[in-house]
Amino acid sequence: PDAGPGPAWQSKCPWGAPSTTSISCSLADVMSEQLAKELQLEEENAAFPEVVAAAEGPFITGENIDTSSDLMLAQMLQMEFDREYDAQLRREEKKINGDSKVSISFENYRKVHPYDSDSSEDEVDWQDTRHDPYRADKPTTTPRRGFIGKGKDITTKHDEVVCGRKNTARMENFAPEFQVGDGIGMDLKLSNQVFNALKQHAYSEERRSARLHEKKEHSTAEKAVDPKTRLLLYKMVNSGMLETITGCISTGKESVVFHAYGGNSATEDKIIPPECAIKVFKTTLNEFKNRDKYIKDDYRFKDRFSRLNPRKIIRMWAEKEMHNLTRMQNAGIPCPQVVILKKHVLVMSFIGQDQVPAPKLKDVTLSSEDMKKAYYQILNMMQQLYRECNLVHADLSEYNMLWHDGKVWLIDVSQSVEPTHPHGLKFLFRDCRNVSQFFQKGGVAEALNERELFNAVSGLNITADNEVDFQAEIEALEKVNEDHVQNHGKKLSTFSSDGDPPIYD
């Protein structure tokens, strides 16, 4: 049979004619609805089963976005991708399970990434590292003579198993940041070759990370926040908790504060305030070193302090601010309301309006009437703080009080301590001095002097009429409390001024 009027080579080809590529079909086939449907289905299946609408990420827009870090951009993109992937997975899971009573979970197929470390890193945050459950026992060493055992049970130091185990145990000596996995806890045997390669790699990683770290430290000083923090902030926007982060309100020694518009997060069942302040505690550690004394001696944090690294201590500052704000909120003291805490980033309600923060008391000019009102309000707040919240602000001054809505708002309470803190009363006295001086200079005739204010706030009755004696009495009281701790292991929860038995915590 002739192949028809094909090209000349076709008939000459020694391997015969190629099969024609066009599908031969009859008129009946062409008209078949069945076939048409099948073809269409095939086409549809080839494409993505359900088109996922790319959610518009309302992230820090325009000029705010930092494009200098490729890694961060890549991570952000990955995060966006993963979110869509997970959403799709959820849809498919739902489709498969339908109304069935027994359901199949796709949980294990969800994306988990290492830098999105809410899960991975934080879990071990407060773990007692002195008792590491993963720590292997010391490897048994081979004796000097180079072998143990007798006869055919003899093992030499060249024994593969012994050697492999020893190598595994030696991995412990690598730099702590170097990830060696769970191998140490298992009966893993590393050959010399593998071990040596790993060792080499560990050393070069160490050098590389040292260089990198140095660079990062510098860039943190220049820009407001480091890439990790930016990623955290990005996540808050990405999750819908925040609408936009508009800009920086303040860059202090220890923190950077941003303004943001609140979003309407579906996951958090909290109502997000329309405007938020984001306080980012600085991860450059230098400034915090001098503040150790606040937290180290705070018995609430005492147990944890000794075994934490500096990065975690900074998170504790943020945590402390959150707890203290919550106490104040409960007592009805005007202060920012806590929205959420993520690592070293604290989100709270914004005191101010339309991106303009309320002025600090030091920057605002009040009428003498308002000044007097402010004074009595502060006196009241200091008493509430002491009695109801069991706190001393410890950095109270016209710098940390905002004037908003015709009243004073207290902020910046990360360093606040309980009155029984070893220096609690000293801190209180300092607060009193700042407040007294500010209002006396501000022309409030009724303002108590610092000693009177101290007694009025604490309910103590220190009678010394000069500063030196007064401070000596404060120190004596602090010492009594300290001795009590030494002897009884517990702190008095309040100083008793009227002969009541002490109340124990």
Paired with 409 in beta bridges are 402
Rounded to the nearest 10 degrees, the angle between the axes of helix 368-387 and helix 450-458 is 40
Provide the minimum distance between the beta carbon of 419 and ligand ADP in the complex, in angstroms, as a whole number: 22
Close Cβ partners of 149 (under 8 Å, ≥ 6 residues apart): 155
| 254 SS3 class | coil
Q: Applying CB under 6 A, does 400 fall inside the site for ligand ADP?
A: yes
DSSP 8-state class, residue 15:
T
The binding site for Mn ion (CB under 5 A) comprises: 400, 412
CB of 275 to ligand ADP, least distance (A): 8
Q: How far apart are CA 178 and CA 198, in angstroms?
A: 10
Q: Candidates 199-207, 250-258, 367-375, 495-503 — which segment interacts with ligand ADP by CB under 6 A?
A: 250-258
Residue 211 burial (CB count, 10 A): 10
Report how far Cα 142 is from the mean position of its chain's Cα atoms: 46
* Site for ligand ADP contains 255 (CB under 6 A): yes
Nearer to ligand ADP, 184 or 249 (CB): 249
- Measuring CA to CA, how many Å separate 240 from each of 185, 235, 488? 41, 9, 50
Residue 460 interacts with ligand ADP (CB under 6 A): yes or no: no
User: Which of these, 259, 296, 294, lies nearest to 414 by C-alpha position?
Assistant: 294
Q: Shortest gap between Cβ of 336 and ligand ADP (angstroms)?
A: 4
Amino acid making up residue 287: E
CB of 402 to ligand ADP, least distance (A): 6
Nearest-angstrom CA–CA distance, 8 and 488: 108
**Using rule CB under 6 A, residue 250 touches ligand ADP:** yes
Judged by beta carbon distances under 5 to 8 A according to partner kind, the member of ligand ADP, Mn ion, none in contact with residue 385 is none
250 binds, among ligand ADP, Mn ion, none (CB under 5 to 8 A by kind): ligand ADP
- Closer to Mn ion at the Cβ: 249 or 492? 249
CB nearer to ligand ADP: give 171 or 413. 413
| Count of other CB atoms within 10 angstroms of residue 193 | 9
d(CA 354, CA 262): 12
The reply to whether 339 sits near ligand ADP by the rule CB under 6 A is no
Round to whole Å and give the CA distance between 451 and 465: 8
Residues 67, 72, 77, 83, Cα dihedral to 10°: -140
The tokens describing 88, both together, are: 């799709």
Catalytic member of 70, 82, 86, 395: 395
Radius of gyration, CA atoms only, the chain: 34
- Exactly one of 245, 411, 435, 477 binds ligand ADP (CB under 6 A); which one? 411
Stretch 348-377 residues interacting with ligand ADP (CB under 6 A): 348, 350-352, 357, 360
Part of the chain binding ligand ADP (CB under 6 A), chosen from 16-24, 124-132, 244-252, 445-453: 244-252
Residue 118 CB, nearest approach to Mn ion (Å)? 28
Residue 226 vs 478, nearer CB to ligand ADP: 226
Q: Given the complex with ligand ADP, which of 281 and 495 has the nearer CB atom?
A: 281
The least CB distance from residue 321 to ligand ADP, in Å, is: 8
Minimum distance of ligand ADP from residue 263's CB (angstroms): 17
Is 395 designated active site?
yes
Q: Bridge-partner residues for 486, per DSSP?
A: none
**Looking at beta carbons only, is 169 or 257 nearer to ligand ADP?**
257
Nearer to Mn ion, 325 or 448 (CB): 325
The crossing angle, in degrees rounded to 10, of helices 160-170 and 192-222 is 10
Q: Which of 249, 331, 366, 492 binds ligand ADP (CB under 6 A)?
A: 249
Q: Indicate the residue type of 133.
A: P
Beta strands at 401-404 and 407-410: parallel, antiparallel or unpaired: antiparallel
For residue 261, the minimal CB distance to ligand ADP (Å) is 13
- Contacted by 75, from Mn ion, ligand ADP, none: CB < 5 to 8 Å by type: none
288 binds ligand ADP (CB under 6 A): no
> Token digits for 166?
């020893």
Closer residue to ligand ADP (CB): 79 or 232 = 232
Cα–Cα distance between 445 and 435 in angstroms, integer?
13
If one asks whether residue 319 binds ligand ADP (CB under 6 A), the answer comes out as no
Residues that bind ligand ADP (CB under 6 A): 249-250, 252, 254-255, 257, 277, 279, 336, 348, 350-352, 357, 360, 400, 411-412
Q: Which residues are catalytic?
A: 395
